[in-house]
């Protein structure tokens, strides 16, 4: 990449070189600029540019020519970044790790006791051991045969620091500031209780609606066997209507009702719902109730019952087409 952006931020001292700055180094070297001139351009030390040129130089044309490439410098930088940092001492101190694992499972010692006792007994020197915090880190990383479920106390403890906000918003006076005589509970009003209103359940809505639907269904299905004014028919219908009214009353007063009454304030929605209900009642009557009544009560023929179901089938077809 020999082209560079015309707008870029000035290099900050103490920071690593970016890829755009390596492109500038490549371009300035191609133009014949010196190391010091490039360092003044980027605002960094000449030794930084020298080290970067040394790392990013590649051999071209079978080693006959050497040239700095920004891509090579960036790749070498990324490789060195992955290898930097403090190295783990787990393999170097394997003897101490095995000592901790042995006494943890055989003697039931904690990691803290194993670390401190090894130093107190003189079995290991300070340079041969690791601290307790490092042992717990090894457990979290899965490097040891000891797992977190072997440390029940660690799972129960909350190691997060709890900071008390100094400038938190005060919502009134604290209960800790009340007078000492209130603790004696000698006067009315010195007793406290929980006055928080909990969340209301919807068991009443579900129960009343279920009872209404079951009673109405039983009432309508018994019309073929009993008269309309009989107890099995009229009783279930009355009980279903009462349950339905109870459900409507509960739903009207509850803000989280199953069906909000705010929907029925929309005139267009209400008219469409009424028309849909009448159409369904007509379809049910022409397609189910009337044929059964003709055959079971009036002892009519099957063909007559079939002609009665014909209008219901036509209405269903029209409703399906409109839907």
HEC profile of 28-67: HHHCCCCHHHHHHHHCCCHHHHHHHHHHHEEEECCCCEEE
> 178: Cβ–Cβ under 8 A, 6 or more apart, which residues?
none
Cβ neighbourhood burial of 219 (10 Å; 0-12, 13-18, 19+): buried
**79 and 23 in a common domain:** yes
Lowest average pLDDT, out of 142-151, 185-194, 298-307, goes to 185-194
Final residue belonging to a domain, choices 83, 109, 133:
83
Question: Is 186 within a domain?
Answer: no
| Residue 159 confidence (pLDDT) | 60
pLDDT tens digits along 177-191:
777 877 777 776 676
Average pLDDT over residues 105-124: 89
pLDDT tens digits along 189-231:
676 665 555 555 556 777 887 888 888 888 877 776 777 677 7
196 or 48, which is more confident: 48
| Residue 84 confidence (pLDDT) | 81
Could you give the CA distance from residue 243 to residue 208 in angstroms, rounded to a whole number?
A: 5
| Average model confidence (pLDDT) across the chain | 79
pLDDT at 14 > cutoff 90: no
Question: Is 89 within a domain?
Answer: no
| Residue 53 confidence (pLDDT) | 92
Final residue belonging to a domain, choices 212, 232, 260:
260
Token output for 239 = 């009980």
Token output for 134 = 């490092």
201-207, long-range: CB < 8 A, 24+ apart: 202/254, 202/256, 202/258, 204/250, 205/247, 205/250, 205/251, 205/254, 205/257, 205/258, 206/258
Question: Is 14 within a domain?
Answer: no
CB atoms within 10 A of CB 220: 16
Final residue belonging to a domain, choices 260, 275, 308:
260
Question: Is 1 within a domain?
Answer: no
Question: Is 170 within a domain?
Answer: no
Could you give the CA distance from residue 174 to residue 120 in angstroms, rounded to a whole number?
A: 50
Average pLDDT over residues 304-321: 73
Question: Is 320 within a domain?
Answer: yes
Locus of tokens 């100094």: 166
- What is the Cβ-side half-sphere exposure of residue 294, based on CA atoms within 13 angstroms? 17
Question: Is 321 within a domain?
Answer: yes
Domain residue limits at 323:
266-323
pLDDT at 312 > cutoff 50: yes
pLDDT at 301 > cutoff 60: yes
Look at the chain and report how many structural domains it folds into.
4
pLDDT tens digits along 239-291:
888 888 887 777 776 666 666 666 677 788 788 888 887 777 776 666 666 77
Best-predicted range by mean pLDDT among 47-51, 58-62, 86-90? 47-51
From 239, 237, 232, select the one nearest 208 (Cα to Cα). 239
Residues, the chain, total?
323
Q: Is there a contact between 244 and 214 (Cβ–Cβ < 8 Å)? A: no
Question: Is 61 within a domain?
Answer: yes
From 285, 206, 201, select the one nearest 247 (Cα to Cα). 206
Q: What is the pTM of this model?
A: 0.34
**273 and 309 in a common domain:** yes
């Amino acid at each position: 990449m020999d082209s560079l952006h015309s707008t870029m931020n000035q290099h900050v001292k103490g920071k690593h070189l970016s890829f755009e700055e390596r492109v500038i180094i490549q371009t300035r070297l191609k133009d014949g600029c010196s190391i010091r001139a490039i360092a003044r351009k980027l605002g960094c030390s000449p030794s930084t540019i020298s080290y970067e040129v040394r790392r990013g130089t590649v051999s071209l044309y079978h080693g006959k020519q050497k040239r700095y490439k920004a891509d090579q410098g960036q790749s070498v930088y990324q490789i060195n970044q992955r290898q930097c940092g403090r190295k783990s001492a787990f393999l170097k101190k394997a003897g101490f790790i095995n000592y901790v694992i042995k006494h943890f499972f055989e003697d039931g010692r904690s990691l803290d006791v194993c670390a401190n006792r090894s130093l107190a007994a003189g079995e290991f020197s300070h340079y041969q051991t690791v601290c307790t915090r490092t042992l717990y880190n090894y457990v979290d990383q899965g490097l040891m045969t000891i797992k977190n479920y072997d440390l029940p106390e660690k799972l129960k403890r909350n190691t997060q620091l709890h900071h008390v906000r100094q400038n938190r918003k005060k919502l009134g006076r604290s209960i800790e500031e009340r007078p000492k005589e209130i603790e004696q509970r000698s006067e009315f009003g010195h007793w406290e209780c929980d006055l928080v209103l909990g969340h209301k359940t919807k068991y009443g809505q579900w129960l009343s609606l279920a009872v209404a639907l079951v009673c109405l269904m039983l009432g309508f299905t018994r019309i073929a066997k009993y008269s309309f004014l009989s107890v099995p028919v009229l009783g279930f219908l009355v009980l279903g209507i009462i349950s339905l009214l109870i459900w409507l009353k509960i739903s009207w007063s509850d803000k989280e009702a199953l069906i909000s009454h705010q929907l029925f304030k929309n005139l267009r929605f209400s008219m469409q719902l009424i028309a849909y209900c009448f159409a369904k009642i007509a379809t049910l009557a022409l397609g189910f109730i009337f044929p059964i009544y003709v055959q079971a009560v009036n002892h009519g023929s099957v063909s007559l019952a079939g002609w009665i179901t014909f209008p219901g089938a036509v209405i269903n077809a029209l409703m399906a087409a409109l839907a």
